[in-house]
Amino acid sequence: MTLDELPRSPGEWLKGNGPESDIVICSRIRLARNLADFPFISKASRSEKSEIVTQIRESISESNSKLNYFDVERMSELDRQFLVERHLISRELKEGEGPRGVALNDDESASIMVNEEDHLRVQVMRSGFALLQAWEQIDDLDNRLEEHLDIAFSQELGYLSACPTNVGTGIRVGVMLHLPALGQTNHLDKFFRALQKINLSVRGLHGEGTQPYGDFYQISNQQTLGKSEPELIKSLSDVIPQLIEYERKARQTLLTERRQVLHDQVSRAYGVLKTAHTISSEETMLLLSSVRMGINLGLIDDLEIAQVNELFINTQPAHLQKIHGQTLAVDERNVLRASFLRKRLTEMRDGPPSE
């Protein structure tokens, strides 16, 4: 597998076919792990980082995990950004220094970042609300890697991580939600404050340090020590169905009380995407967010969620440039994005052009 083959598929997390996928975009679990015999990244020399990469790559191939390794240090800026947009690497890994990389499986459901904040950041993403499936997959992958690695662990404190906020289980359980109707009410802040009281955090699309945008939110655990992985997963599994329920109710209320306004908003968004001649990635995301809600409410009937998801991913800057085959300035990208949207939306409505 090469990176150039990836844009042809939407990636596991944007498939749009998982449980509750009208509201839950994807479920994500990551585990932070470190090798016992090396300093953490901030104190690791270049040669130590190289050795860490070597040991982890060996463990990946010995564990028969069917993952392909990509060297992020030697990768072009465009490819790094491309992987960030697909949520396969973090911004921290993209902007890091020294030997580092990522191992991916073919359907992009699993990724292992090497030499990010911790030596290993194992991640599994599943479409829709599927935390248990994600846990089973990542637990198995983690077990197989650990058979070949000496992991930093203490009986008292669990898995030892570079940042004390991850110590213990090293687990971050997250669910990415699309909450456009709740976003139009004044209740969202209230819900989020309630979540924070039970140690859950609310973040933007790209996790830590990012602002929510286009009504997409990530909800994840903050506590990692003193509770087992299934308990921490349950703390999210218990609360997410309530949020889904509130969002559904808010959507129905909007439909009955403000149907015309809502239909107008959704149709205008769709209209702009079909006809614009230059458009930024931010505007595209906001409009696609409206269109996505319109499909879920039956206000748009000639487009599917999976197709909107494909547009979400492929209209991001690095994806657009990779599909186009060259780097472009912002203005050129905006023109290309608009023409890509016009073309794809026509094809999606009328079926693909005959070959």
Partner 1 sequence: MKCERCSKPVTHHITDIDKNGDWQEHHLCHDHAQTFLEESNEIDDKPKKDVSELAKAFISQSGKSAVASESATEKRICPLCKMTFQEFRNTGRLGCPNDYVIFREELMPLLENIHDETRHCGKTPHRAPRDTQTQTSLIQLRNDLKKSIAAEDYELAARVRDQIKELESRKSVS
CB of 169 to partner 1, least distance (A): 5
Among residues 3, 32, 67, 152, the one that binds partner 1 under rule CB under 8 A: 152
Please check whether residue 346 is in contact with residue 316, taking contact to mean a CB–CB distance below 8 angstroms. Answer: no
Asked if 155 is part of the footprint of partner 1 (rule: CB under 8 A), the reply reads: yes
3-class SS shares of the chain: helix, strand, coil, % to 5? 50, 15, 35
Residue 195 and residue 96: Cα distance in Å, rounded?
32
Asked if 115 is part of the footprint of partner 1 (rule: CB under 8 A), the reply reads: no
The number of beta carbons lying within 10 Å of the beta carbon of residue 139 is 16
Phi-psi group of 158: left, alpha or beta (phi > 0 → left; psi -120 to 50 → alpha; rest → beta): left
Asked if 45 is part of the footprint of partner 1 (rule: CB under 8 A), the reply reads: no
Phi-psi group of 277: left, alpha or beta (phi > 0 → left; psi -120 to 50 → alpha; rest → beta): alpha
Tell me whether residue 41 or residue 240 sits nearer to partner 1 (CB atom): 41
CA 318 to chain centre: 15
Considering only residues 231 to 250 of the shown chain, the ones binding partner 1 according to CB under 8 A are 231
Asked if 5 is part of the footprint of partner 1 (rule: CB under 8 A), the reply reads: no
Tell me whether residue 234 or residue 344 sits nearer to partner 1 (CB atom): 234
Asked if 301 is part of the footprint of partner 1 (rule: CB under 8 A), the reply reads: no
Among residues 132, 167, 202, 328, the one that binds partner 1 under rule CB under 8 A: 167
Letters for 323-342 (x = contact with partner 1 by CB under 8 A, - = none) are --------------------
CB of 158 to partner 1, least distance (A): 3
The alpha-helical segments, DSSP class H, found in the chain are 46-62, 77-85, 91-94, 131-146, 180-184, 188-197, 229-257, 259-275, 281-296, 305-314, 317-324, 330-350
| 54: three-class secondary structure by DSSP | helix
When computed from its CA atoms, the radius of gyration of the chain, rounded to whole angstroms, is: 21
Asked if 132 is part of the footprint of partner 1 (rule: CB under 8 A), the reply reads: no
Residue 131 and residue 350: Cα distance in Å, rounded?
36
Letters for 195-224 (x = contact with partner 1 by CB under 8 A, - = none) are ----x----------------------xxx
Count of residues that bind partner 1 according to CB under 8 A: 44
Residues making contact with partner 1 (CB under 8 A): 34, 36, 38-43, 117, 139, 142-143, 146-147, 149-160, 162-165, 167-169, 171, 199, 222-229, 231
